Amino acid sequence: MKQSELVDLLGRMTLREKIGQLVQLDGGCFGTDAVAVGPRAKLGVTQEDVDVCGSVLNVLGAEEVHRIQDAYLERSRLKIPLVFMADVIYGYQTCYPIPLGLGATWDPELIREDYNLIAEEAVADGCMVTFSPPVDVVRDARWGRCLEMPGEDPYLSSRFARAMVEGFKGDGTPQKSLASCVKHFAGYGAPEAGREYNTVDMSEWRLRNEYLPPYRAAVEAGCDLVMTSFNTIDGIPATANRWLMHDVLRDEWGFDGPIITDYAAIDELRAHGVAANRREAAKLAMNATVDIDMKTPCYAHELEALIETGEVSLEQIDTACMRVLELKNRLGLFEDPYRTCSPERRTEVTCTPERLESARKTCDEALVLLKNEGGLLPLTTGGNAPCVALIGPYANSRDIIGMWAIHADKTHSVTLAEAFAEVLGDDGFAWAQGCPTLDDYSELGEFGKIPAFGAPTGEGADLETMAAEALELAASSDVVVMALGEHMLQSGEGGARTDITIPAPQKRLLKRVRALGKPVVLVLFNGRPLSLTDVIDDCDAIVEAWFPGTAGGRSVADVLFGTVNPSGRLTVSFPHNVGQEPLYYAQFSTGRPAKTSTHSGRFVSRYMDCPNDAMFPFGYGLSYHTARYDNLRLSADELTADGVLEVSIDVTNEGDIAGTEVVQLYIHDKVATRVRPMLELRDFARVELAPRERRTVTFILREEALRFWTPEHGWASEPGAFEVMAGPNSRDLLVGEFELV
Ligand code: GLC
């Protein structure tokens, strides 16, 4: 439809129809009458509200989309199609590793390709907009939603935000292009104490330098919507925060697409205590230029009265409504209300071998080797293969797709045991669960009783028998692979924890296995950085598998048996102790830096009972080859505002197998008008090296990479001395110096 036709359409809409476009209801409201009465009544909406609403939340399935769209258009006066939106976060039916794992690939190009495959699979089954990518910077491992984010660094997260939005968008052809919605704007990853939905409070200096960049990268990459976050910023909930939504997002960044709230967030303005009633809540959100009310009746039932009193203008409604109509027009819905989805199309593209292979390749790059004492890994296969015991709740589990894979088909998940059998043969290993995931599942609440969310199996099993079976298996083996980790509901939304260690029954089993004196490989399944202090000495090798997705079992086997030389590198810091949280590598010096202060030992920035640093730092990961980094050199010792500085470093694969290095480049602004982090990531390169190959990696540094935000000057660099560092992670770095002049 041409723009002029959209304007004409808007002119023919009644006020109620315009407001309707600003309302998003869940699929329950669109059921057949008998079914829908309950959800509608619970939400407080009527059939009339349903008949004019603009979009549908989390309904998928081509058949259901067709049914709802047909029934809706049948009743629609102006035949304006619904738009169907859902959470397709890191996969649809084919599930990739959780974004913490995707980040660990340090391979945005690969993720861009993956996200286009995800788009095609989701579009085929009726998804038109995905509430993804989530790119909240995360620095507190207590927060459950670390799972969904690329990591703790704004630069790296910005690279992934761009790749994910462009991946979803693809070449724009309807069947392979999904509208994206960056979230959660803004700063949702910094709740006090890591507690879900808790207060966020930080200076504008920190917000702009460390938390806003990934959202801006998504906007610049062309994301179609922005979702408001549940938290406050500067004492005002984001959903009511005009400065954030209008002044920054729209005026400064030029975003003119729809802003949609998070789930029920307008109504929650009452709970926040900034709105006395739904009418005030609707007014605050509309005046913050929020366009779509997700799953509350506030806009549907309060806006007309606000217009009558002049507290909200008709122009505001027209502007918001036009944003929604333009989104629908960009999606081609006026020409094809189903947007090519069909059961046949779904069958054609879902969980194809190409997709499953893509998920496996990505997962191969996502796994992080954290420890490999004595080169225990890779395990040999074939004639002289050791007898392997595979033990733990994740030994043969399909619950390896993470909490937000709500549309994934778990039956496609390849378990560790199945993958081991493919490599070793059924007789080449044996597995045993050994213990339940948790001692007490009640902490998981009602969700924990749902099979799709990992409800416990084998209720009432004799735990000592389970353990004895596993211990007997371990005693008769040459090496034990322990598949342990968090329950899938211990991370994700609502998954904040104060204890970020491996659950107790699993630790007890690990200790008993260790007491047998066998070599132990620990494979971790988790949705956050863990504290591994109480298990690190019980394992000779540790592989971080995250929630690895549909192909997870095969990827873990690929790494354990050496088909793949691991290249994953952490994008979040793993603490010694939860007491260190929030923990991140880009720390500021403080006036009393622990390692260099002139003050006496006690009176420096330190803990009495724990190191300051991470146990496993940002950028860290091992491989089966060893690499040497040397000969860091700069093309000059000065950089001008319009110049370039070449920073080169030599990397040598000292091993006898091919491998990949993730060469990382950091800067440090030594003196500035505001404190600057001791190091900040500014570039990286994945480098594939043949055995014994030496390669020079050169980065190009420009003045804009040195800029930071201040209230006085906005984004600007400041002349002076800089350090530039390069190496395999944020700790083992070679350092050079230059002047910005
Ligand atoms: C949830 C999440 C958000 C999701 C939305 C719709 O509460 O915060 O990430 O997109 O609701 O399901």
Closest Cα to atom 7, ligand 1: which residue? 263
CA of 264 to the centre of ligand 1 (A): 9
CA of 260 to the centre of ligand 1 (A): 11
Task: Flag whether pLDDT at 54 surpasses 70.
Answer: yes
Residue 458, domain CATH: 3.40.50.1700
**Local structure of residue 296 (DSSP, 8 states):** -
Pairing of strands 659-669, 680-689: antiparallel
Task: Flag whether pLDDT at 112 surpasses 80.
Answer: yes
Instruction: Look at residue 458 in the predicted model and tell me its pLDDT.
Output: 61
Examine the domain organization and report whether 336 and 398 are in the same domain: no
- Rounded-to-integer distance, Cα 225 and Cα 215, Å: 11
Written as one letter, the residue type at 726 is A
Examine the domain organization and report whether 297 and 383 are in the same domain: no
CA of 738 to the centre of ligand 1 (A): 45
Examine the domain organization and report whether 413 and 468 are in the same domain: yes
Whole domain around residue 67: which residue ranges? Answer: 1-10+17-86+278-343
Task: With beta carbons less than 8 A apart as the criterion, state whether 128 and 120 touch.
Answer: no
Residue 6, domain CATH: 3.20.20.300
Helix H or strand E segment including 664: strand 659-669
Pairing of strands 232-233, 129-130: unpaired
Q: What is the pLDDT of residues 361-388, one digit of tens each?
A: 999 999 999 999 999 999 998 888 899 9
Q: What is the pLDDT of residues 534-576, one digit of tens each?
A: 999 999 999 999 999 999 999 999 999 999 999 999 999 999 9
Instruction: pLDDT band for 464, please (50, 70, 90 cuts).
Output: very high
Helix H or strand E segment including 228: strand 225-228
Residue with tokens 């204890």: 499
Examine the domain organization and report whether 370 and 282 are in the same domain: no
Residue at a domain's end among 526, 548, 570? 570
Cβ of 596: how many Cβ atoms within 10 Å?
A: 8
User: Between these two residues, 445 and 574, which has the higher pLDDT value?
Assistant: 574
Q: What is the pLDDT of residues 67-106, one digit of tens each?
A: 999 999 999 999 999 999 999 999 999 999 999 999 999 9
Task: With beta carbons less than 8 A apart as the criterion, state whether 286 and 312 touch.
Answer: yes
Q: Does ligand 1 lie within 6 Å of residue 243's CB atom? A: no
Task: With beta carbons less than 8 A apart as the criterion, state whether 423 and 557 touch.
Answer: yes
Q: What are phi and psi of 136, to 5 degrees?
A: -65, 130
Examine the domain organization and report whether 359 and 410 are in the same domain: yes
Q: What is the pLDDT of residues 328-356, one digit of tens each?
A: 999 999 999 999 999 999 999 999 999 99
Q: What is the pLDDT of residues 660-707, one digit of tens each?
A: 999 999 999 999 999 999 999 999 999 999 999 999 999 999 999 999
Domain count, the chain: 3
Closest Cα to atom 6, ligand 1: which residue? 263
Q: Relative to the CA of 58, which ligand 1 atom is closest?
A: 12
Supply the mean pLDDT for the chain.
96
Cβ of 628: how many Cβ atoms within 10 Å?
A: 12
Closest Cα to atom 11, ligand 1: which residue? 263
Q: What is the pLDDT of residues 500-531, one digit of tens each?
A: 999 999 999 999 999 999 999 999 999 999 99
- Rounded-to-integer distance, Cα 136 and Cα 153, Å: 10
- Rounded-to-integer distance, Cα 726 and Cα 13, Å: 59
Task: Flag whether pLDDT at 461 surpasses 80.
Answer: no
Q: Is residue 591 part of a domain?
A: no
Q: What is the pLDDT of residues 401-414, one digit of tens each?
A: 988 888 888 888 99
Examine the domain organization and report whether 411 and 534 are in the same domain: yes
- Rounded-to-integer distance, Cα 352 and Cα 91, Å: 13
Examine the domain organization and report whether 338 and 351 are in the same domain: no
Examine the domain organization and report whether 316 and 394 are in the same domain: no
The catalytic residue positions are: 262
Instruction: Look at residue 451 in the predicted model and tell me its pLDDT.
Output: 80
Q: Is residue 656 part of a domain?
A: yes
Pairing of strands 479-485, 368-372: unpaired
Task: Flag whether pLDDT at 209 surpasses 80.
Answer: yes
Q: What are phi and psi of 363, to 5 degrees?
A: -65, -35
Task: Flag whether pLDDT at 452 surpasses 90.
Answer: no
10 Å CB burial of residue 41 (0-12, 13-18, 19+) is: exposed
Q: Is residue 546 part of a domain?
A: yes
Q: Does ligand 1 lie within 6 Å of residue 188's CB atom? A: no
